[in-house]
Chain A
Amino acid sequence: MIELNNIHKTFNTSKPNEVIAINKVNLQINEGDFVVIVGSNGSGKTTLLNLVAGNILPDSGTITIDGNNVTRLPEYQRSKWIARIFQNPLSGTAADLSIIDNFRLAALRTKNKGLSIGKNEQFKKLVRDKIATLGMGLEDKVEQPIGTLSGGQRQALTLLMSVMDTCKILLLDEPTAALDPRSAENVLRIADDLIKEYKLTAIMVTHNLKDAGNYGSRIIQMGEGAVLKDIAGKEKDSLQQNELYSWFG
């Protein structure tokens, strides 16, 4: 599904603060994989996610998605495969726009945003029904600016927005970092359900080792811009919490 070949990325090239963020990484992510990436600060995990998303372009190497070479494609053109959940709940939604407006845009992620009014009663009903599945009581508030909601509510809605249009890949960049423990758990559960229901290929960056143990079908540890560990399948399921902690010892 996603293939990274010999990807290299350096920031601040030939300046005193030069950083090799990603060092010749090869990675193949199969359809339906739910990859969790862990690693300490500066290990390159967020850069890796941004390289897949397209808001950072690599210095060398190639990236293919679904057989298409997307190495030089900007973020807005990769959106036909990829939906993103940001660390900051404010980034993933447009605060001053109503919930319904946000969902309308999400429903057009892979399509043209044209000069017709698509926000009709039928669409509103569809959105209300979808939001009702969250069980948060937000379905009656669809005309409210989304900025009036809490971070957890916004992050849950952003997840739902990602499946409003055909979605193959879901990128989650520390989706729960700004949330309280209960909201965080709720958001991750929703993410996990959606990934299974829509058979998404997902990559999640996290600092929370408990989440890394509980979620995902494959775990990758990054360090100094390289893949240190890559464990999948049964081996990942049987991975013990303290084993994970020992990686950072």
Chain B
Amino acid sequence: MDFYLTALLQGLCFAGIAFGIYISMKIFNIPDITTDGSYTLGGVVTGAMLTHNQPGYLILPAVLLAGALAGALTGIIHTKLKINALLAGILVMTALYSVNLTILGRSNLPLLNLPTLFSVANLITDVNQNSLIILMGFVLILTTLIGYLLKTDFGIAMRATGNSEPMIRALGVNTDRMKITGLAIANALTALSGYLIVQLQGFADISMGIGIVIVGLGSVIIAETIINWLRITSVWLSLVLVMAGAVIFQFVLALTLNIGVDANLLKLVTAVFVLLIVGLPRLTGRQA
């Protein structure tokens, strides 16, 4: 049972990445893989600030700002220098590895006995269940904020930018600036996942972000499959499904480990799983 509780906790932590990928990939139609770097960035900023005894109310804004800067950089390279978004993301991600290593000062930083987000309130004695309550509250607030943002006039303009650029430019929106802002928001959310996971597992690691983009992609694709299947148009419901996608993704991984699949094969299983959820609807669609 504890096994699946851990999966649930991780899934909730990854909701940030899932929202980030949802914004960059689904809303802006930009394949952004700054993710690996900005996720680790969020983690190392959290780790470094915690060990330097910085107050919690400073750490969260610092993490969001760091992630936003990374995303904005990718956005500027993509829009102003007209470089392919994938390449722009790879460049920033690569550069961030050195930045992250410098911030962390070493390759692994344990955060033992430091006050974290999960120790601010002790609502119940069980540590994991206590974390679950705090995390659920956190993700609920996050989902509400993003949902509200997408409903505002700014949010509608964001969605239109990825949908019909000629239209939204003719309606007075600077699409370059909009894309830069969008990637900044997406990567701030990704960094937020790093912030959460580092505090949950109690250490920051330089390689924690390797291949993490697949977690976001997988979550969004799970959500999208359900969205298309049920023909959902509501923004709120879509966001809830993206969050659920992140949790489902972790459950599937926990399940595969539980049935005895070698942990070394986990990335392979992850890739195959994502391939399945992308591929299956198309295969069944062909028969119909």
Report chain B residues within 8 Å CB of A92: 164, 166-167, 170
Query: Chain B interface mostly helix, strand, loop or mixed?
Result: helix
* In the complex, A79 has a CB within 8 A of chain B: yes
Instruction: Give which listed residue, B154, B163, B167, B233, contacts A113 with CB less than 8 A.
Output: B154
**Chain A residues, Cβ within 8 Å of B157:** 105, 108, 113
Residues in B whose Cβ lies below 8 Å from that of A86: 166-167, 170
Q: Chain A interface secondary structure, helix, strand, loop or mixed?
A: loop
Is A145 a contact partner of B233 (Cβ separation < 8 A)? yes
**Which residue in A76, A84, A145 is a CB contact (below 8 Å) of B174?**
A76
Task: Check if B170 sits within 8 Å of A79, measured CB to CB.
Answer: yes
Q: Is the CB of A76 within 8 A of B153?
A: no
CB-CB < 8 A to A116: which residues of B?
152-153
B71 → chain A, closest Cβ, in Å? 19
The CA-CA distance from A143 to B234 in the complex, in Å, is 10
Q: Which residue of B lies closest to A55 (CB)?
A: B169
Docked CA distance A104–B151 (Å): 11
Contact B233 A98 (CB under 8 A): yes
Q: How far is the CA of A96 from the CA of B233 in the complex (A)?
A: 9
Instruction: Report if B146 contacts A (CB, 8 A).
Output: no
Minimum CB–CB distance for A52 against chain B, Å: 12
Considering the chains assembled together, what is the distance between the CA atoms of A145 and B148 in angstroms?
20
Q: Which residue of B lies closest to A161 (CB)?
A: B171
A113 touches B169 (CB 8 A): no
**Residue of B148, B156, B175 touching A101 (CB-CB under 8 A):** B156
Q: Which residues of chain B are within 8 angstroms of A106 by Cβ–Cβ distance?
A: 171
B149 is an interface residue with CB less than 8 A from chain A: yes
Kindly identify, within residues 90 to 149 of chain B, every residue whose CB is under 8 Å from any CB belonging to chain A: 148-149
Q: How many A-B residue pairs have CB under 8 A?
A: 96
Q: Count of chain B residues with Cβ under 8 Å from any Cβ of A?
A: 23
Instruction: Give chain A nearest CB distance to B204 CB in angstroms.
Output: 33
Question: A119 an interface residue at 8 Å Cβ cutoff?
Answer: yes
Residues on B lying within 8 angstroms of A by beta carbon are 148-149, 151-154, 156-157, 159-160, 163-164, 166-175, 233
Render A98-119 as a binary contact track against B, CB cut-off 8 A, 1 for contact.
1001101110111101111111
The answer to whether A76 and B173 have CB atoms under 8 Å apart is: yes
Q: Please, how many angstroms separate the alpha-carbon atoms of A162 and B164 in the complex? A: 16
Q: CB-defined interface of A108-144 with B at 8 Å, one 1/0 digit per residue? A: 1111011111110000000000000000000000010
Shortest Cβ gap from A181 to chain B (Å): 25
Q: Could you tell me the distance between the alpha carbons of A86 and B169 in the complex, rounded to whole angstroms?
A: 12
- Across-interface contacts of A117 in B (CB, < 8 A): 148, 151-153
Interface footprint category on A: 35 or more
Q: Which of A75, A101, A104 contacts B169 (CB 8 A)?
A: A75
Q: Does residue A71 face the partner (Cβ distance < 8 Å to B)?
A: no
> Do A104 and B156 touch (CB < 8 A)?
yes
Q: Which residue of A lies closest to B174 (CB)?
A: A76
- Taking the nearest CB of chain A, how far is it from the CB of B76, in angstroms? 17
Contacts of B171 in A (CB 8 A): 79, 105-106, 108-109
Choice from B149, B160, B163, B169 contacting A115 with Cβ under 8 Å:
B149
Residues of A within 8 A of B169 (CB): 55, 75-76, 79
Are the CB atoms of B156 and A119 closer together than 8 Å?
Answer: yes
CA distance A76 to B166 in the complex (A): 10
22 pairs, A vs B, C-beta closer than 8 Å: A74-B174, A75-B170, A76-B169, A76-B170, A91-B164, A91-B166, A91-B167, A92-B170, A93-B164, A93-B167, A94-B168, A95-B163, A95-B164, A96-B163, A104-B153, A108-B157, A108-B171, A113-B173, A114-B152, A117-B151, A119-B153, A145-B233
5 closest pairs, A vs B, by CB? A79-B172, A94-B163, A94-B160, A113-B157, A94-B164
Question: Contact between A83 and B168 (Cβ–Cβ < 8 Å)?
Answer: no
Q: Which residues of B contact A105 (CB under 8 A)?
A: 153, 156-157, 160, 168, 171
A115–B152 CB distance below 8 A: yes
Chain B: minimal CB distance from A93 (Å): 6
Given contacts A55-B169, A95-B164, 17 further A-B contacts (CB under 8 A): A76-B170, A76-B175, A77-B172, A91-B167, A92-B170, A93-B167, A94-B159, A94-B164, A101-B156, A104-B156, A105-B156, A108-B172, A109-B170, A109-B172, A114-B154, A117-B152, A143-B233
Q: A80 near B: Cβ within 8 Å?
A: yes
Expressed in whole angstroms, the minimum distance between the Cβ of B185 and any Cβ of chain A is 12
Among B153, B173, B175, point to the contact of A118 (Cβ < 8 A).
Answer: B153
Minimal beta-carbon separation of A113 from chain B (angstroms): 4
For residue A53, CB closer than 8 A to chain B, the reply is yes
Distance in Å from the Cβ of B167 to the closest Cβ of chain A?
A: 6
Cα A93 to Cα B170 in complex, Å, equals: 10
- In the complex, what distance in Å separates the CA atom of A113 from the CA atom of B153? 5
